[in-house]
């Protein structure tokens, strides 16, 4: 390797790097000047380099530790998709903040790049297995709920904030007895005066036990513990002490240092990962960090179930992107347990056929407004959602099924339904004949 | 307030909201459809609403807790600058992850917005004072170093990663004896095999004591403790036990939950805040979160010194933006101690006149490559930087000053210098007659 003395020191186009000793990162790069120099700047800044030669940077050190650009696909004069190989030695393999700082840190602010996006990261086996990953994983969540053959049905308590604690617990109870498996807090409900955390846990877990007795089903409550860690850890412990089975963390706003800490404590709690704020850096396809990258870090950190998008709901995310992320989370990754994807945001019963058709059955389907906005109330809304789920699993058209399921019929009356039918058995990728009526469902007023 | 039943329920244009009981957030919004509806979606999603009516959302609850858009300046048919008032009750005031989840959470991923940027946040006194803020602050840092009348001179050990521990400590020592006040680790150096954390602390603090004895000056070492918190906290405690006076945290990649935890421990350590990864969401002026917002959260969380930009270096950031952030950090904020801004990235001695002219003397000036890349080595590089600093403080032209300061002359030989002279005494905003030669300084090869 003669990179040290050549003109483009960090370019090793066409060379091979051992994937068992290198981290491979794919970037989209837009240059502000000469493309090759911008590409070099990315490799340098994210490994050992800076903008000038320095005393300590020997040829040996360069060869051992510099990042190396080994693939460059020009899209035009100034833009390219590149792959960079980072020697494993650059990383502290169980330190997720450090992984971000390495490959997704200073590089975004350099004058050499107009836009830059971290698209994907591939980690060697030794790197992945240095992390514990999910304690429960997708199968552990199913074991806890004793549900093996269908998507799990979740809900968020709506209105998202503002309900007094008793109301919160009551609505959770009503959702559970209606047929919901999982109740989660909203991402910005933590410990406000109108609904204090500790009282909420006590009352909502009481409601859960009551609903379990009445239905004979296991239920899950995912309270949002997100806070400064000095508060978050006591909150998590309290949930465990009170017989809770799960907690929710806003993984982006809390940060991975705190997420990893909670996972390290082995509290015996399923960790539900909310991704609020991700859109600040995943939104553009030309800049920032992809949700796939975040999902990989979340699985590494031990998130058991993670929001990844709905394709059809109120949040953005293409089918291709969401499917790719979900397939990664559920697939083999050097023995780490899989993470169960969550589809949440703007969903209602009428969207379930298309949703399950696209995402398959290994998913948590979260309906917030699509349950609580039901004209018959929360329990009826939960029934409608569960009926829609049952219909899809039986392969029955929703409108047909609603003929003798009045809660579903009422939901369809309010939000509409595609008269969609599954085409064949490929639930992971099936498409539907008829477009869904989205406009009414997205009406805010 | 009749918002609940009107067409645009969240619009209260022209109304006044009490700034002592509301959080005011300024957004830039680009609509994908009708501007007013997109604006409503932002207010709803970031407070109590969702995409449909729900059972629990009463008029009383709406009036008490909904976010309200009270200012809307249209830039064109689809874009606007808006101000939203959030009732204080929505927030847990000492929970920074929750603040992000509230006003900078789900809103970025909604289909209603093409782009959305959180530009600024104004917090009531009761909100701000619920937080401890910096333990040392700008004055505490100056007290520690006994330097009151000039910018502080910092350096990063370069190459940023890869040096063995002994070399790292030696280079730190050489920088300190050359006249540097503060040595910091790089943002992606944590605990790698080539330079293990605990050994690095021991050796580098030894080097600091030696340098202090020889120079009679106080010095600061800011080791990067960023990691999973289960590692980060022991690392911070070790630094304190070994006589360290400061730590560095990558505040974005670690996350504010961990940052607040470390501040809560009262370890008696100055916290140096690095902002690696911020560019993933601050880069675009049309989307994401502004650095000003991040800086406010950092001061709230207790960061004593924070990277905010150089204007003239390798990292982006306009003069207006950096000045605004620095003025906020140094200004009065309901009694919270000020945070000292850090200018870092691509700086060399020749840039100091312009830099200090723009940013004033209340700043840490960090030179990495601009010290370690000096042809005479690290100590000579540090001398050159300190000479440049002295020249600026004496109001002497750099080229003039370099005539009897050979280290500075050598630095100018390599990287160039503006023959700039300060115009008048207004160091906070003075401009210079001559442009600096930036191109050579930014040469990567």
> At residue A315, does pLDDT exceed 70?
no
A445 interfaces chain B, CB cutoff of 8 Å: yes
Rounded to whole angstroms, the Cα distance separating B252 from B240 reads: 23
> At residue B425, does pLDDT exceed 70?
no
pLDDT (mean) for B248-274: 98
Query: Are residues B315 and B381 in contact, defined by beta-carbon separation less than 8 angstroms?
Result: no
Q: Which residues share a beta bridge with A120? A: A26
A 363-422 residues inside an 8 A Cβ radius of B: 368-370, 372-374, 377-378, 414-415
Give pLDDT, residue A322: 93
Which of A92, A252, A442 is facing B51, going by the closest CB pair? A442
Q: What is the largest CA-CA distance in chain A?
A: 79
B36 interfaces chain A, CB cutoff of 8 Å: no
Q: Could you tell me the two tokens for A30?
A: 């837009």
Residue of B nearest to A43 (CA): B444
For chain B, percent of residues with pLDDT exceeding 70 = 89
Rounded to whole angstroms, the Cα distance separating A340 from B317 reads: 40
Give pLDDT, residue B316: 60
For residue B167, the distance in angstroms to the closest alpha carbon of chain A comes to 8
For residue B134, the distance in angstroms to the closest alpha carbon of chain A comes to 15
B135 interfaces chain A, CB cutoff of 8 Å: no
DSSP state of B331: S
Which of A161, A261, A315 is facing B230, going by the closest CB pair? A261
| Chain A residues inside the 8 Å CB shell of B415 | 52
Rounded to whole angstroms, the Cα distance separating A115 from A108 reads: 7
**Residue-averaged pLDDT of chain B:** 89
| Chain B residues inside the 8 Å CB shell of A107 | 279
Residue A87: which of A113, A59, A116, A61 has the closest Cα? A61
Q: How far is CA A386 from CA A214, A346, A356, A370, A418, in A?
A: 17, 17, 13, 12, 17
Give pLDDT, residue A57: 67
Q: Please judge whether B415 and A52 are an interchain contact, meaning their C-beta atoms are less than 8 angstroms apart.
A: yes
> At residue A381, does pLDDT exceed 90?
yes
pLDDT (mean) for A12-37: 95
Query: Are residues B340 and B138 in contact, defined by beta-carbon separation less than 8 angstroms?
Result: yes
For B312-321, B352-361, B410-419, which range has the lowest pLDDT when averaged over its residues?
B312-321
Q: Is A365 left (phi over 0), alpha (psi -120 to 50) or beta?
A: beta
Q: Could you tell me the two tokens for B360?
A: 């004033």
B253 interfaces chain A, CB cutoff of 8 Å: yes
Rounded to whole angstroms, the Cα distance separating A55 from B369 reads: 9
A98 interfaces chain B, CB cutoff of 8 Å: yes
Task: Name every residue whose Cβ is closer than 8 Å to that of residue B34 and which is 6 or more positions away in sequence.
Answer: none
The full DSSP string for A51-99 is SS--TT--HHHHHHH--EEEEEEESSSSEEEEEEEEEGGG--TT-HHHH
pLDDT tier, B420 (very low <50, low <70, confident <90, very high otherwise): very low
Environment class of residue B332 by beta-carbon count within 10 Å: exposed (0-12), middle (13-18) or buried (19+)? exposed
Tokens 């600093």: give the residue: B389
Angle, in degrees to the nearest 10, between helices A165-178 and A197-215: 20
> At residue B411, does pLDDT exceed 80?
yes
Residues of B with catalytic annotation? 158, 274
Task: Name every residue whose Cβ is closer than 8 Å to that of residue B121 and which is 6 or more positions away in sequence.
Answer: B23, B24, B25, B26, B99, B103, B293, B296
**Residue-averaged pLDDT of chain A:** 89
Residue A408: which of A375, A433, A431, A430 has the closest Cα? A375
Give pLDDT, residue A389: 97
Pairs of CB atoms within 8 A across A/B:
392
Measured torsion, CA atoms of residues A278, A282, A284, A290, in degrees rounded to the nearest 10: 180
> At residue A429, does pLDDT exceed 70?
no
pLDDT tier, A51 (very low <50, low <70, confident <90, very high otherwise): low
A250 interfaces chain B, CB cutoff of 8 Å: yes
Rounded to whole angstroms, the Cα distance separating A108 from A105 reads: 7
Q: How far is CA A131 from CA A22, A320, B230, in A?
A: 17, 28, 13
Task: Name every residue whose Cβ is closer than 8 Å to that of residue B230 and which is 6 or more positions away in sequence.
Answer: A260, A261, A264
Give pLDDT, residue A423: 33
A277 interfaces chain B, CB cutoff of 8 Å: yes
> At residue B2, does pLDDT exceed 70?
no
For residue B292, the distance in angstroms to the closest alpha carbon of chain A comes to 15
β-strands B364-366, B340-344: how paired?
Answer: parallel
Instruction: State phi, psi for B115 to the nearest 5 degrees.
Output: -145, 155
The full DSSP string for B216-277 is ----EEE-B--S-HHHHHHHHHHHHHTT--EEEEEHHHH-HHHHHHHHHT--S-EEEEE-TT
**Positive or negative: CA dihedral A348, A352, A353, A358:** positive
**Residue B285: how many CB atoms within 10 A of its CB?**
13
Q: Please judge whether B256 and A257 are an interchain contact, meaning their C-beta atoms are less than 8 angstroms apart.
A: no
DSSP state of A336: P
pLDDT tier, A1 (very low <50, low <70, confident <90, very high otherwise): very low
Query: Are residues A256 and A301 in contact, defined by beta-carbon separation less than 8 angstroms?
Result: yes
> At residue A435, does pLDDT exceed 60?
no
Give pLDDT, residue B144: 98
| Chain A residues inside the 8 Å CB shell of B230 | 260-261, 264
Say what the ipTM of the complex is: 0.91
For chain A, percent of residues with pLDDT exceeding 90 = 78
Q: Could you tell me the two tokens for A182?
A: 């999982």
For chain B, percent of residues with pLDDT exceeding 90 = 78
Give every strand in the sheet of A246-250, ordered side by side.
A220-222, A182-184, A152-156, A364-366, A340-344, A305-307, A270-274, A246-250
> At residue B444, does pLDDT exceed 70?
no
Interface test with A, best of B231, B316, B444, B445 (most A CBs within 10 A): B444
Q: Please judge whether A89 and B228 are an interchain contact, meaning their C-beta atoms are less than 8 angstroms apart.
A: no
Quick: pLDDT tens for A195-234. Answer: 999 999 999 999 999 999 999 999 999 999 999 999 999 9
Q: Could you tell me the two tokens for B141?
A: 């840092």
Query: Are residues B269 and B239 in contact, defined by beta-carbon separation less than 8 angstroms?
Result: yes
State whether CATH 3.30.70.150 applies to domain B22-128: yes
Domain boundaries, chain A: 22-128, 137-415
Query: What kind of fold does domain B137-415 have according to CATH?
Result: TIM Barrel (3.20.20)
Residue ranges of alpha helices (H) inside A119-196 are: 125-128, 137-145, 165-178
Give pLDDT, residue B42: 93
Rounded to whole angstroms, the Cα distance separating B326 from A179 reads: 54
B344 interfaces chain A, CB cutoff of 8 Å: no
Task: Name every residue whose Cβ is closer than 8 Å to that of residue A393 and which is 6 or more positions away in sequence.
Answer: A149, A150, A356, A361
Q: B426 vs B215, which has greater pLDDT?
A: B215
For residue A289, the distance in angstroms to the closest alpha carbon of chain B comes to 7
Tokens 């009445």: give the residue: A214
Q: How far is CA A442 from CA A383, B51, B306, in A?
A: 21, 6, 42
- Which three-class secondary structure state does DSSP give residue B29? strand
pLDDT (mean) for B378-386: 97
pLDDT (mean) for A290-306: 98
Rounded to whole angstroms, the Cα distance separating B167 from B341 reads: 29
């Amino acid at each position: 390797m003669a990179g040290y003395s050549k003109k483009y020191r960090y370019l090793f186009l066409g060379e091979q790097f051992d994937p068992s000793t290198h981290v491979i990162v794919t970037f989209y790069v837009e240059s502000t000047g000469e493309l090759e120099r911008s590409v070099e700047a990315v490799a340098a800044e994210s490994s050992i380099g800076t903008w000038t030669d320095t005393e300590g940077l020997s040829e040996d050190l360069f060869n051992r530790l510099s990042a190396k650009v080994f693939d460059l696909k020009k899209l035009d004069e100034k833009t390219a998709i590149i792959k960079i190989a980072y020697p494993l030695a650059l990383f502290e393999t169980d330190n997720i903040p450090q992984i971000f700082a390495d490959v997704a840190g200073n590089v975004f602010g350099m004058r050499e790049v107009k836009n830059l996006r971290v698209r994907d990261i591939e980690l060697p086996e030794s790197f992945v297995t240095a992390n514990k990953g999910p304690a429960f994983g997708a199968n552990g969540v199913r074991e806890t709920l004793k549900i093996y053959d269908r998507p799990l049905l979740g809900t968020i308590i709506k209105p998202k904030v503002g309900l007094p604690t008793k109301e919160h617990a009551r609505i959770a109870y009503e959702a559970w007895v209606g047929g919901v498996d999982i109740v989660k807090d909203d991402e910005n409900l933590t410990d406000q005066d109108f609904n204090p955390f500790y009282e909420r846990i006590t009352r909502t877990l009481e409601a859960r036990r009551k609903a379990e007795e009445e239905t004979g089903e296991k239920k899950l409550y995912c309270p949002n513990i997100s806070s400064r860690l000095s508060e978050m850890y006591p909150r998590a412990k309290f949930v465990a002490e009170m017989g809770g089975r799960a907690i929710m963390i806003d993984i982006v706003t809390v940060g991975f240092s705190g997420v990893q800490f909670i996972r390290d404590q082995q509290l015996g709690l399923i960790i539900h990962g909310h991704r609020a704020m991700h859109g600040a850096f995943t939104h553009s396809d030309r800049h920032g960090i992809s949700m796939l990258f975040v999902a990989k870090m979340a699985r590494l950190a031990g998130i058991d179930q993670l929001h990844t998008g709905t394709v059809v709901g109120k949040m953005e995310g293409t089918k291709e992107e969401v499917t790719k992320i979900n397939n990664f989370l559920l697939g083999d990754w050097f023995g780490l347990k899989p993470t169960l994807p969550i589809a949440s945001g703007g969903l209602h019963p009428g969207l379930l056929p298309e949703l399950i058709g696209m995402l398959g059955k290994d998913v948590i389907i979260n309906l917030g407004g699509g349950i609580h906005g039901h004209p018959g109330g929360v329990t009826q809304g939960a029934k409608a959602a569960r009926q829609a789920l049952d219909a899809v699993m039986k392969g029955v058209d929703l409108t047909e099924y609603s003929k003798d399921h009045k809660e579903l019929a009422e939901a369809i009356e309010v939000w509409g339904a595609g008269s969609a039918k599954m085409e064949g058995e490929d639930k992971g990728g099936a498409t539907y004949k008829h477009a869904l009526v989205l406009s009414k469902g997205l009406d805010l007023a």
